[in-house]
Structure 1
Amino acid sequence: MELTDILKALINGLVYGSVYAIIAQGYYITFITTKTLNFGQGDFVMLGSLIGLSTFITITATGGSVWIAFIASLLLVIVILGICGWGLEQVAIRPLKSWHSIGWILSTVAVSMIVRNVAMLIWGRDVLMAPSPFGRAILDLGIMKIRYHDIFVLVSAVVIMLLLYVFLKKSLFGKALEAVAFNRDAASLMGINPRLMASIAFIIAGILAGVGGVLVGPMVHPGAFIGLFLGLKAFAVAIIGGIENPRGIFIGGLLLGVLENLFTLYSTSMKEAAAFFLILVILAVLPQGLFGKRVKEKF
């Protein structure tokens, strides 16, 4: 094992981890607002990746520049996945949540299966190749080479985190979301509509999934079945970092990404087990996650 291999694993880990963190922020925003999750978040990522790929190929095939194609595909994915997030909340969450049941878990799983089967009907079962707007361009640092797309993904993840923070802390809707998260009844008395905030939360979660799909597309082979492992990795990140702590989720994503890529230096078959190994270790010591709030139980 050489130093170059370790550095490459670290960089790849940070890049993949940042994508996991983006997707996991969708779990955070819906959980603090409604105490529910979209267990089909990974399939929303898959859908965003495939829609983005089809749009990119269509525009470039007609003579459009790669950057126009990339921006157009990103905007289209944002709109479509935002609508999907809203529809999920209206159909799979709200009717069942009002009955104080956990039926919403099965309903979101059902939606994910529907999305997956629709994707198979449209794009088939085979994996596809997603081009990057940077092509195959790399940055040569001497001891190692980094793809420009990887740098772009890492920078984009940081920017998305900052935008999410500004939205929650500075915007009117963001403050309303946090008010509902803090005390739903008190927020209602102040004139905030919790149902509207729930819809906004799922719209944001859908957008985050779609953006994550567009970014991760050139890094993986998009296909109808990539959503399962991406959703599980993002869920693992949310648990590791603390599902109610967005900064913890981001750090948890980077940690998981680095760990699983370091595992590949010893055995590629161990990569997928890394996420769940880390969950078991952390939950055994810190049940609330690395950065979650500790809750004391009284007996």
Structure 2
Amino acid sequence: MQIGNIIQLLSGGLAMGAIYVLVALGLYITHLTTHRVNFGQGDFLMVGTFLMLFIRKAGLPLLVAIAMTLIVLAIMGWLLERIAIRPLDRKKSTPVGAFSWILTTAGIALILQNVIELGFGKTSQYSSPLFSSRRDQVVQVLGAGLFVEEILVIIAAVVIVIIFYAFMFHSRWGKNIQAVAFNPESAKLLGVHTDRVKTGVFIIAAILAAVAGVLIGPLVTINPHMGLVLTIKALIVAAIGGFANPVGILVGGILFGVFESLSNYIDSGFGDLYPLLAALIIIAVKPSGLFSERHADVR
């Protein structure tokens, strides 16, 4: 394999790995705070891609399209917590009620899939580039032709992850989230508005899905049923990295994305299978993830 091919594969793998990381961080922050995840997180991303497609076809500027997509997904995140998560807290003492959020979030995911399918049809569609003039625009790096979109998606995702990390560990809101994650009752005694924090993390998760949707649109063909696969892969990335470790999630996403790219190059027919098998082996050997916390979770 030539060096140019290796660089191209790494670029594509890092770009998709960055998308998985953004989706996985949304799963991480909701699980950390509420011990629940949105099984429709990938479908929120899917909605973001189609919103961008619709708004840009309407002729609105790129920045306006991005802003509108972020706002709509933030509202969806707020609604999800209010109608699919919070009402279940009253039933969490029952065996069914404790896990009924799985059904409600998955149900909303199915609703989103069908609504988008009714509006845009079942066929795959193409989203216009964000940063370049055409989809196949490349730049030469060490003899390899790299897509401009892939390079800028990687850069944008890294910046977002850095901002997310700073928010979680160096901001007042981040400290409130950690306090609620550790003990909601104690946090409430300290003056933290726990319900507001729980709503906020679902809004943040939805915004992360929106950002991932904006970035992934020019990289792949989009369709109403793409969200399920992305949710599964994001869950795997979070599990590989350790569900309580955002840095581990970043590393897990990079490893998964690069391995996926290489395996598809070696065997295009079963390329998606090998990363999943490798992930299952890792999780079976180390269920807490490669970068799990060294101390026990005392929440």
Query: Which of the five TM-score ranges fits, normalised by the shorter chain?
Result: over 0.9
The correspondence of residues 68-87 of structure 1 with structure 2, limited to 5 A, is 69-87=61-79
Gap regions ≥5 residues in structure 1: 61-68
TM-score (norm 2): 0.92
Given that 2:47 and 2:213 are in contact with CA atoms closer than 8 Å, whether structure 1 keeps it comes out as yes
Q: Distance in 1 between matches of 2:6 and 2:142?
A: 15
Q: Which amino acid aligns with 1:179?
A: A
Q: Which amino acid aligns with 1:130?
A: S
Secondary structure in structure 1 of the residue aligned to 2:271:
helix
Alignment partner for residue 117 of structure 1, among 114, 119, 138?
114
Given that 1:8 and 1:144 are in contact with CA atoms closer than 8 Å, whether structure 2 keeps it comes out as yes
Given that 2:11 and 2:151 are in contact with CA atoms closer than 8 Å, whether structure 1 keeps it comes out as no
Q: Distance in 2 between matches of 1:118 and 1:296?
A: 43
Secondary structure in structure 1 of the residue aligned to 2:139:
strand
**Percent identity of equivalent pairs:** 37
Q: Which amino acid aligns with 2:208?
A: L
Alignment partner for residue 135 of structure 1, among 112, 133, 140?
133
TM-score (norm 1): 0.92
Q: Distance in 2 between matches of 1:233 and 1:28?
A: 13
Q: Distance in 1 between matches of 2:133 and 2:271?
A: 27
Residue 293 (structure 1) shift: 2.4
Given that 1:236 and 1:275 are in contact with CA atoms closer than 8 Å, whether structure 2 keeps it comes out as no
The correspondence of residues 195-274 of structure 1 with structure 2, limited to 5 A, is 195-274=195-274
Deviations 1:228-253 (A, max 9, x none): 11111111111111111111111100
Alignment partner for residue 93 of structure 1, among 53, 66, 85?
85
Residue 189 of structure 2 corresponds to which residue in structure 1? 189
Residue 296 (structure 1) shift: 6.8
Residue 33 of structure 2 corresponds to which residue in structure 1? 33
Residue 107 (structure 1) shift: 0.7
Give the count of matched residue pairs.
289
Q: Which amino acid aligns with 2:105?
A: T
Deviations 1:24-75 (A, max 9, x none): 1000110110000000001000000000111112126xxxxxxxx2211111
**Cα RMSD after superposing both structures:** 1.6
Residue 265 (structure 1) shift: 2.0
Given that 1:23 and 1:212 are in contact with CA atoms closer than 8 Å, whether structure 2 keeps it comes out as yes
Residue 107 of structure 1 corresponds to which residue in structure 2? 104
Residue 64 of structure 1 corresponds to which residue in structure 2? none
Residue 275 (structure 1) shift: 3.5
